[in-house]
Amino acid sequence: MENRLFDTAVQELKYKVLKELICAYDKGLDNSIYHDIPIKIMPGPKASLRCCVYKERAILQERLKLAMGGDKTNKNVVEVIDIACDECPVNGVFVTPACRGCITHRCAEVCPKNAITIVDKRCVVDKEKCIECGKCTQACPYNAIILQKRPCVASCKANAISVNADKKAVINNDKCVGCGACVYQCPFGAIADKSYILDALDILKGSENNKKYKVYALIAPAIVAQFNYAKIEQVVSGMKQLGFFDVVETALGADMTLSEEAEELKERGVLTSSCCPSFVKFVEINFPDLKKYVSSTPSPMVMAARLLKTMDPTGKVIFVGPCTSKKFEFQSDAAKEFVDCVISFEELQAFLDARNIDVSTLPETVLDNASYYGRIFARSGGLSEGVAALAEKSGFKAAPIAMSGLEECKKQLLMLKVGRSPYNFFEGMACEGGCVNGALCLHHGPKSLTDVNRYGAEAKEKTVENTVKLFKLAGAVTKEPEPEA
């Protein structure tokens, strides 16, 4: 059961806390967990990660608090753990001893702010003038100049992270889009996502083995790239052992989202996707003029949950995904009626291990609800491909662009804003590469993309046609085509 493929030790720490919390839940929670769980994870007496074992344990207490839902007064699903923040130096641009004191001074020539002067044959940066554009770091033939940004600040493409007087990271909630990039990037694990695992456990427990109501797990398609020590069919068996009545692909909702967005594009002419809530938030905050282009189609998660709730009105839906932003989306007005809880892949792994379920030893349970197109939503470009195919079928041309990561989104949205964009459909994903690289994936890498494509190709349904029929039959369609005038 060891040898999990987490990318980082920080993920593993978070996982250990979650696992111990779930074990404690099963025995009956009480206040002793704040004392016992940190000691169990960091028995000491020597510190292995920080200055002393007491600090390590204090940080674990904070992680435990986040695992139990975090600060209820803070609406953001991502929080800074102050005492875990290592106050990384914020030197900005700085010149290393590798500077040879050459005579061309490309660094000074390229600087747009004239912040570089040559003193005693060496490059000196005026911090007052420097805007940290990084051009000099590229220009120096000896790579002698480096731009040192805090990993959290560098990771945040929404410019929501700053450093306060105590040198601690601070998240500006008015700018934060909840993508979770900082959660994955902070090398000290000082920024973390809140967990709703206790709510999920309560929902499952309250169902009394699906007798009082049924609990459905909606799994995001990125899951195929996650549990690489087992088959997805075994993971489904494991989830049923955890108490889920059935496991349904969110990709089924993606099929429907795709169909409705293609219709919408035909009507409206220019459209951006709406499946990534962090992207939508990014547009709202940074490009309010472009908000009118954002699709009004519900995201695949909401769409699939709506189908489940129309088919089984007393059922409960727990979404399992790679994503911090789904953790705030499910609490929004558009989703809260349909989605009862969201947990991450990391949390699912902890849940399975807390219950001693080794999925690699289980028999397989088939998983097949959605089409090829719904499944490839998990990667950047999947939605665009689907929209282009549907558009062609109904006789109009879509010119889609897959914007992968917020930097790319910003670039393309600027073009749209000034009316210079050659595209009419804008697929926006906050995470580079799409959901398959989501912040709460167990691991990230190029192999994930291959996994998603293979999973897509394995779907029985090659088009979204049958899914659309199913939604119509269930009465879960959100947009009826306008009757012809």
Partner 1 sequence: MILSVCVGSSCHLKGSYDVIEAFKKLIAEHAEGKIELRACFCLGRCADGVSVKADDKYILGVNGANAEEKFMGEILPLLG
**What residues line the site for partner 1 (CB under 8 A)?**
216, 236, 245-248, 308, 311-312, 365-369, 460, 466, 469-470, 473-474
Residue 369: CB minimum distance to partner 1, A: 6
In this complex, which beta carbon is closest to partner 1, that of residue 258 or of residue 367? 367
CA separation for the pair 53, 369 (Å, rounded): 49
CA distances, 176 to each of 47, 170, 172, 284, 445 (Å): 34, 11, 6, 11, 25
369 with 217: CB under 8 angstroms?
no
Residue 236: CB minimum distance to partner 1, A: 8
Q: At 126, give phi and psi (nearest 5°).
A: -85, 105
Residue 238: CB minimum distance to partner 1, A: 15
457 with 374: CB under 8 angstroms?
no
From the list 149, 157, 112, 107, the residue with the least C-alpha distance to 130 is: 112
In this complex, which beta carbon is closest to partner 1, that of residue 61 or of residue 466? 466
CA distances, 259 to each of 263, 298, 384, 396 (Å): 7, 11, 12, 14
| Cβ neighbours of residue 444 closer than 8 Å, sequence gap 6 or more | 7, 184, 437
Residue 279: CB minimum distance to partner 1, A: 30
Q: Judging by DSSP bridges, how do beta strands 145-148 and 78-80 pair with one another?
A: unpaired
Residue 476: CB minimum distance to partner 1, A: 10
In this complex, which beta carbon is closest to partner 1, that of residue 258 or of residue 350? 258
In this complex, which beta carbon is closest to partner 1, that of residue 273 or of residue 371? 371
Residue 363: CB minimum distance to partner 1, A: 12
In this complex, which beta carbon is closest to partner 1, that of residue 291 or of residue 472? 472
CA separation for the pair 245, 248 (Å, rounded): 10
Residue 311: CB minimum distance to partner 1, A: 5
10 Å CB burial of residue 41 (0-12, 13-18, 19+) is: middle
Return the amino acid letter for 237. Answer: S
Residue 351: CB minimum distance to partner 1, A: 21
In this complex, which beta carbon is closest to partner 1, that of residue 52 or of residue 473? 473
Residue 469: CB minimum distance to partner 1, A: 7
In this complex, which beta carbon is closest to partner 1, that of residue 184 or of residue 319? 319
| Cβ neighbours of residue 377 closer than 8 Å, sequence gap 6 or more | 221, 251, 254, 257, 258, 275, 300, 383, 386, 434, 435
Q: Judging by DSSP bridges, how do beta strands 215-219 and 92-95 pair with one another?
A: unpaired
DSSP 218: E
In this complex, which beta carbon is closest to partner 1, that of residue 216 or of residue 279? 216
185 with 284: CB under 8 angstroms?
no
In this complex, which beta carbon is closest to partner 1, that of residue 78 or of residue 223? 223
